Structure 1
Amino acid sequence: MDATDLSFLRANLEEAHYVSGSILIEPHQKTEYVYFPYNCVVSIINTVSGGSTVEVGTIGNEGMAGLQIFLDADAVPSRTLVQVAGEMARLRADKFRELADRSAGCRKFLNRYTLAFLAQVSQTATCNRAHTIDERCARWLLMTHDRVTSDTFNLTHEFLAFMLGVRRAGVTVAAGILQKAGLITYKRGNITVLDRKGLEEASCDCYQIVRTEFERLLETQMKSRIG
């Protein structure tokens, strides 16, 4: 972005702290804002008949929530909420459209980010069908770890089960396997990543496939705390 675009953002962004569980975008309702996480993590959730839920997309400081505005749509059938608490900025939808319409650099990034995010969503669907709960849990923890600024983040069993679309008992077993292997600790809703490399080895290959695609399309090295 050039200096004019940055000045526009500084004048129109609204920054705030968001707690876990905060609803940003409701399904089938008009999207009023787009959101840019700084150190929090945002999830896109689908709900099926009977009330079961599963996360289909994860967003952190590599991207934005509310991509439908860029795609000229006002509403989507999914719910967008804060997964891990932290700081985030929001921009009114009309201001975002104004910026995207006039900035070639912004449009280029958003086109590439859209492709990367679609790759994540499609790989998540594959992962949910093909891999075990403990592999999926490891993948999810890695994706979250990439997007926060600490090795420790707050997450309850209930919320992790909500994200993975499984029963709490399944999450308890999966987290126990990872903890027994010395990869994480899990106490009172706080997860600490102890062995990043080991966690990658415990995950399915979906994590690396998505990460590689983001780095290729966005031409940037995603943050890593390996070693």
Structure 2
Amino acid sequence: MPHSANSRYKNRLLGLLDPQDMSLLSPHLERVELGLRDRLEQRGMPIKFVYFIEEGIGSIVARMAHGRDTEVGLLGHEGMTGTVAVLGGDLAPHECFVQAAGAAMRIPIAPFRDAFEQSPTLQRFLLQFVQCLMMQTSYTALANARLRLEGRLARWLLMCEDRAGTELNITHEFLSIMLGVRRPGVTVAVQILEGNGLIRAMRGKIVIRDREGLIALADGSYGAPEAEYEKLLGSSPVRFKVVATSTAVSP
């Protein structure tokens, strides 16, 4: 389905919307700043706003008892929160908070639902994004099951670079939450990547030095979801940096 570019928006979904669909959303959109750790959704609570991220990164985090949290989804300028609303739900299934500060265009849930119900083309377009996010989540599960921690870290850093550039402000403690492992394990994984010249690690910051090396270490867990996004929702000058490769995670 072709979409025209709405150049005033940095969010790819908004930038690719059909003009008629955009006209349903635009009167209700407002730009908001996103501060580090701002909560965009709370598990089990009604969704109040849908955020179309323009700058920064949002993390979808699943929670268990005793603080055993792990990231199950990652969003940036390519995406939106509130996907459960696209599927007809009302309550957030997971936490969603800001991992890297930035900005977003947000819309209250009521006018978002009205626009969604009025337009079959908007429904199909946003459902395609949900499909892409589900594929990302499935590859997260694959990486968690099949890769060593340094491979999982490589994939996660690549996904962050796509959305925030080569310099990432991140602590080992926060990485442990994102990857669902203990902090000492993260420290070892970071040391392995740095020792191989793939990254440079500083206090509270990681700089990516060798993207191709990270892709190789990710061993096929990175690339396919990004290529699926480009196939379904592409047609924009701002793209993910890699398409799918033939490499697969070894069984």
> TM-score, with normalisation over the residues of structure 2?
0.83
Q: Partner letter of residue 159 of structure 1? A: F
Decide whether the 8 Å contact of 1:35 with 1:64 is kept in 2: yes
SS of the aligned residue for 1:45 comes to strand
Q: State the distance in 2 between where 1:167 and 1:34 align.
A: 32
Match of 2:93?
77
Decide whether the 8 Å contact of 2:36 with 2:98 is kept in 1: yes
Match of 1:136?
152
Displacement of 1:225 in angstroms is 8.3
SS of the aligned residue for 1:40 comes to strand
SS of the aligned residue for 2:141 comes to helix
* Residue 173 (structure 1) aligned with residue 188 (structure 2): yes
Q: Partner letter of residue 106 of structure 1? A: L
* Equivalent residue in structure 1 for 2:52, among 10, 17, 36: 36
* Equivalent residue in structure 1 for 2:240, among 208, 223, 227: 223
Displacement of 1:215 in angstroms is 2.1
After TM superposition, list the pairs within 5 Å mapping 1:1-227 onto structure 2. 1-148=17-164, 150-220=165-235, 222-224=239-241
Higher mean C-alpha deviation, range 24-33 or range 99-108: 99-108
Higher mean C-alpha deviation, range 20-29 or range 7-16: 7-16
Displacement of 1:216 in angstroms is 2.3
Q: Partner letter of residue 198 of structure 2? A: L
Decide whether the 8 Å contact of 2:227 with 2:242 is kept in 1: no
Q: Partner letter of residue 223 of structure 1? A: F
Decide whether the 8 Å contact of 1:18 with 1:82 is kept in 2: yes
Decide whether the 8 Å contact of 2:223 with 2:242 is kept in 1: no
Higher mean C-alpha deviation, range 192-201 or range 136-145: 192-201
Decide whether the 8 Å contact of 1:136 with 1:204 is kept in 2: no
Decide whether the 8 Å contact of 1:119 with 1:210 is kept in 2: yes
Going from structure 1 to structure 2, the CA distance change for 1:30 and 1:187 (only over 3 Å counts) comes to: same
Structure 1 runs of 4+ with >4 Å offset:
none
Q: Partner letter of residue 224 of structure 1? A: K
What is the percentage of aligned positions where both structures have the same residue? 36
SS of the aligned residue for 1:76 comes to coil
Displacement of 1:49 in angstroms is 2.4
Displacement of 1:23 in angstroms is 1.0
Residue ranges of structure 2 left out of the alignment (5+ in a row): 1-16, 244-251
Residue ranges of structure 1 left out of the alignment (5+ in a row): none
Displacement of 1:26 in angstroms is 0.6
Displacement of 1:44 in angstroms is 0.8
Decide whether the 8 Å contact of 1:137 with 1:174 is kept in 2: yes
Displacement of 1:212 in angstroms is 2.1
Q: State the distance in 2 between where 1:51 and 1:220 align.
A: 41
Going from structure 1 to structure 2, the CA distance change for 1:2 and 1:210 (only over 3 Å counts) comes to: closer
SS of the aligned residue for 2:96 comes to strand
Q: Partner letter of residue 80 of structure 2? A: M
